[in-house]
Amino acid sequence: MRIKDILKPENIVAKLTATDKLELISKMLEIVKNSPNIINSNNILDAVLTREKIISTGVGHGFAFPHAKTDSVKDVTVAFATTEKDIDYNSLDGEPVRLVFLLLCTEEQVDIHIKLLSRVSRLMNEESFREKLKELNTSEEIYNLFASTEETLLVH
């Protein structure tokens, strides 16, 4: 499964404003709340926050990857945002976050969940990719960068 096949421009926000981790996660869920895949957005917030309690999904290099497996979605649902300002996210490397990728899957979609975690993480390990993302101002520009970089860097 390719990122560009599930990440759509309507689920991307450039320069999202938030003041803290909880507000950031809540706003990421707002992006997808009208998706036909969403069954119960309150349960999804609980699932994401429960996952955060295990270990922060602020994985480093200014990137956070909040995710959950929950039966409050019908199918894989994702969103991406760049933030206007640094957000304290209690990241593993202690650095603030500016890039956020939300991944929601059903309990049964373990393989898809793991593959998407891996694909997105591999892209985000590229410093030039992260820096370009922060410079972009529209969802279409961000989507196009994901699509072109995925084609270049990742083997299908």
Mean pLDDT of the chain: 94
Given the residues 61, 67, 113, 156, select the one marked as catalytic: 67
- For 126-152, how does the pLDDT look when each residue is reduced to its tens digit (9 = 90+)? 999 999 999 999 999 999 999 999 888
% pLDDT > 90, the chain? 94
CA distance 12 to 81: 6
pLDDT tens digit sequence for 21-32: 999 999 999 999
pLDDT bucket at 1, cuts 50 / 70 / 90: confident
- Quick check: 156 pLDDT over 70? no
Tell me whether strands 97-105 and 77-87 are parallel, antiparallel or unpaired.
antiparallel
pLDDT 10s digits, 86-107: 999 999 999 999 999 999 999 9
* Pair 70, 39: CB distance under 8 Å: no
Please say if 113 is a catalytic residue: no
Q: Give the CA angle between residues 141, 143, 144 to the nearest 5°.
A: 65
Residue 72 corresponds to which tokens in the numbers above? 């409050």
**CA-to-CA distance for 48 and 137, rounded, in angstroms?**
27
Domain boundaries, the chain: 3-153
- Please give the C-alpha separations between residue 138 and each of 14, 49, 101, 142, in angstroms, as whole numbers: 6, 28, 16, 6
User: What pLDDT, in 10s, does the model give residues 50-78?
Assistant: 999 999 999 999 999 999 999 999 999 99
Tokens of 5: 């096949």
CATH class of the region 3-153:
alpha beta
State the number of CA atoms in the 13 A half-sphere of 68 facing the CB. Answer: 23
